[in-house]
Structures are given as structure tokens and as C-alpha cells.
Amino acid sequence: MALHFNEIDDDCLVLILNHLSPYDLRRVSCVCRRLQHLADSDAVWRDHATLQHFDRQWIENPKAQSQKEQYVQSLLDRHKEKWWPVIIHVPRRMKIRCGPPEFYSMLKIFTRGSTGVDSISSQEDVLKVNMQEPTVAVFREMTFNFEEYLLLLASAVEWVTESSPDDGAYISIPTSKILIIEESDRPSVIPSILLKRRGISYSIEGIDFHRFNKTLNRMEAQADGLNKLGLILEHVRLRKKIWSKIHLRKGDLTLEQVDAIVNPVDSSMMGRGSMVSGAIHRRAGPLLYDHCRTLEPCDYIGQTRVTPGYNLKANKIIHVCGPVIWSGSQPRHGLQFAYQNVLLTAIEEDCRSISFPAMGTGSGGFDCSIACKDAVEALVMFLSGYTVTEPMSFDQSEEEDYIGYVRMKRVDVDLIEEINLVCYDNSGFENPYPEFLAALRHLLRWSYKHQTCKTVSTQ
């Protein structure tokens, strides 16, 4: 039998090997010396090396000595820089033990035996996570470190380790359910949400498209505040940070022990009366009133002035020209801008913790649910590094309700350590606490349950 194979000359064999994938080539090269030599040859690998990237220019790697090395190198490079979305579908209330061996084999799927496997094999801990409902999570991954990966994994599901450490529930990620989305030029089967993010097409193997699309649509609907997948992913990564920073409580703003509290005023900077502003003035004493008389009036909604705290427990008061529903063509925009401008001021004034009242819900005249939703969105976006775009750019726009964001430059949002949303009980207006909670749950939807147990009343 051996004779048959030797009769085929090298040129023919190369043409035969050209039909094989890199994965098969690897096995063929283990057969015998002749095949090893041929399977490593440049002629076989040239196509793989040059044509594997469809979405970008192929760059020759100067270090690689052969086309095969070229391929392996570019594969590694690609994995380093590329987001590799993986869909994990988790059936309802399914509990399967999943320890390191399973993760290991999951990684095998990602890496096809070439890189990154050793880095996690030493992990011994079993992640305990319990799923409340069917979940689709979109992860990036390839060159993750293990912790980051687990964090991302955990965001697919309800995170219960901290609330019930002895629950004993395990994460259920059957490896057979892991699907890798590969690039292809069949745009018909692509969920639009992925297209938006990547600008490239995908096809998905072995997936129930109807169900998949339904779940994705639901996910998209849930996330309409941060309506882009990219933002969702970023959100996932930042969420743990964000949820530890935003606190919601019922209580009295004037008793807050923070670096700065926020006093929403009208453009004269002289807010008085029965609102939050009046309460602050009563508590802070007449010196604050005298100070405020010396301040210049505001030019625009959201402008801030800073005074000392006087008799308050807070060190500083940030007076902000509060938005009112009848001011300008973009009242919601003004509201978000006010929140974010206060935070920017706080960073300038070196205030690490800050307490907000529910701006706009009192004499501002905003609908409570809209104001709370916008407020939370503004805070989350700010902590994610985004700020609302300039109000004037929307004047001519038809979409009056549209709020755009741009990424901030040169602002270190990590300087803000604590943001308190304080809902004052006795204002006579609708208490915004439930609305705030709903908004927070909406935007930090996987995790805010965890946060609410920390809520303390200062009254």
C-alpha cells in the first residue's frame, strides 16, 4: 500500500494538501517525514497566511521565516487585538457543575490548540453562579485573563456569590452550547445588533436563529438606554465599578456627610423656599445666604458655582442652575448636562463624594420617571467616560428627544468615588425613589438588586 502514496509526486501532494484546513494540516504533518516536510512548505501555507483576514489589510510579519509561521503569527496577532464574540445560551434554571476542566475545554474551542491554554489550567476555583432566566451574553474574548473572563461570564447571569455564598448553585455553561460566530459573507443571517458593532458580517453555526433573534431583540429592548452593543459591552466591564459608586437612598440631603452636596437653584443663584434649596439654606445658616448674594447670575442651564458648606456636614455646596421643563428646546438635554457638569465641577474642586437631590422633579416640572431615567443615564454615561453633546448641535434636529453622547477627553472619572442620589421624603411632591430604583435597575439591570441591600436611611 505504501507504494501508492510514494508514486504521487510532490507537486501533486502539495495540490492535495492545498485543500486542507490548517487544523488538518497539523495532523497530516505528524504522519511521516515526507508529509511533514510538505505540509510545512510555503506553497501549502501561502493561502492561509495571506487570505485569512478578509476584513483588513494583510501585513507581512518580518519575524516569520516561513509562510506557516506567518500564519501562526498573524493568527496570534489577530486574537490579541480582535473582539471575538461568543454566544452562550443558558437554559432556564439549569444547574450544572462547571469547574476548570470545562473552562479548559471551552478554551480549547477558542484556541484550537495553539495559544493561551496554559494560562488558565492552574485555576482551581469553581465559580458559583445561579441563573434566574434564559440569558444570552455576548462576550469578547481571546486574550482574556481568567478573572476578566469570569467577570464577563458572570455578567451573563445573576450574580449571587456575594449575596448567598453558601447557596451551592453552580454556573451552567454546557460546552456544547457555546457557539463561535465566524466571519462569512452571508449577511442574511446576521443579527443586526452585531453588524452595528463590528461592521463585518457573521454567520452562526448550529444556532436556532428564530430564538436567537428573539432573545437578542429582547436584550436590545432592555438596553435601549445604552442602545448600542458596544456600549453594552463596555457597560458590562464597567458595571461592577459603577454599581459600587452610585448609591440611592431615602433621606435628608442636608445631613449627608460628603465632600459636596448639590443645590439646584434658579439662574439668580438665590434659591429659597420650600424646595431642596430652601432646606439647604435653612440648615447651612445665614452665611450661605450672604455668600450667595455675591455670586454672579448664571448664563446657561447647568452652570455651577461652588460655595463652602457652612453649617452643613458637607464640605462644599455646588450650586447648579437647575433645568426646568419649559426652558429651551432641549429640557432633557439640559437636565443631563446639569448632572454631568456638576460632576465635572466636583472633579475640579477635588470632591470625591457627592450627593444629588432629584433635580427637576420638584419645581423643575419634569415628569418624575423621565427625570430619574435621564439622571441615572447621565451618571452612568459619565462614569463610563461619556458626556452629553453640546446642546446647540441639536437645535435644528427633528428628534427632539434624542440625546447624544461623546467620549470625554482628559477627564479622569475615577476621581469620583461616590455618588449619592438622595430622595427627600417631605417635599410634598411625588417621591422619586421608586422611579430612581427602576431606572437604576433598568440600566444596571443585572446587578442593582445587590446594591439595594446597602441602602441606608439617614433619617
Residue 5 or 83 with smaller CB distance to another protein: 5
Stretch near another protein under the rule CB under 8 A, chosen from 106-114, 315-323, 431-439, 446-454: 106-114
The verdict on 47 binding another protein (CB under 8 A) reads yes
Least distance between another protein and beta carbon 22 (Å): 10
Region from 14-22, 201-209, 239-247, 318-326 binding another protein, contact rule CB under 8 A: 14-22
Instruction: Return the residues of window 221-250 that contact another protein according to CB under 8 A.
Output: none
2, 59, 453, 456: residue in contact with another protein (rule CB under 8 A)? 2
Closest approach, Cβ 104 to another protein, in A, equals 11
Tell the smallest beta-carbon distance from residue 32 to another protein (Å). 5
Residue closer to another protein by CB (options 21, 294) is 21
- For another protein, the closer of residues 17 and 142 by Cβ is 17
The yes or no reply on residue 108 touching another protein (CB under 8 A) is yes
In angstroms, what is the minimal distance from the CB of 72 to another protein? 8
* CB closer to another protein out of 115 and 315: 115
Residues touching another protein: how many (CB under 8 A)?
38
Kindly state the smallest distance separating residue 76's Cβ from another protein, in Å: 12
* Smallest separation, CB 63 to another protein (Å): 15
The minimum distance between CB 62 and another protein, in angstroms, equals 20
CB atoms within 10 A of CB 304: 21
According to DSSP, the residues that pair with 90 across neighbouring strands are: 135
Applying CB under 8 A, which of residues 10, 42, 54, 56 lies at the interface with another protein?
Answer: 54
Query: Is-contact 128 160, C-beta < 8 A?
Result: yes
Q: Which stretch binds another protein (CB under 8 A): 7-15, 195-203, 206-214, 385-393?
A: 7-15
Q: Please select the residue that binds another protein; options are 27, 293, 407, 454, rule is CB under 8 A.
A: 27
Q: Contact between 109 and another protein (CB under 8 A)? A: no
d(CA 20, CA 147): 36
Contact between 115 and another protein by CB under 8 A: the answer reads: yes
Which C-beta is closer to another protein: that of 29 or that of 384?
A: 29
By CB under 8 A, the residues from 166 to 205 that bind another protein are 184-185
Of 10, 30, 273, 402, the residue at the interface with another protein (CB under 8 A) is: 30
Site for another protein in 304-323 (CB under 8 A): none
Q: Which residues bind another protein (CB under 8 A)?
A: 1-5, 7-9, 12, 15-21, 24, 26-33, 35-36, 47, 51, 54, 108, 111, 113-115, 117, 184-185
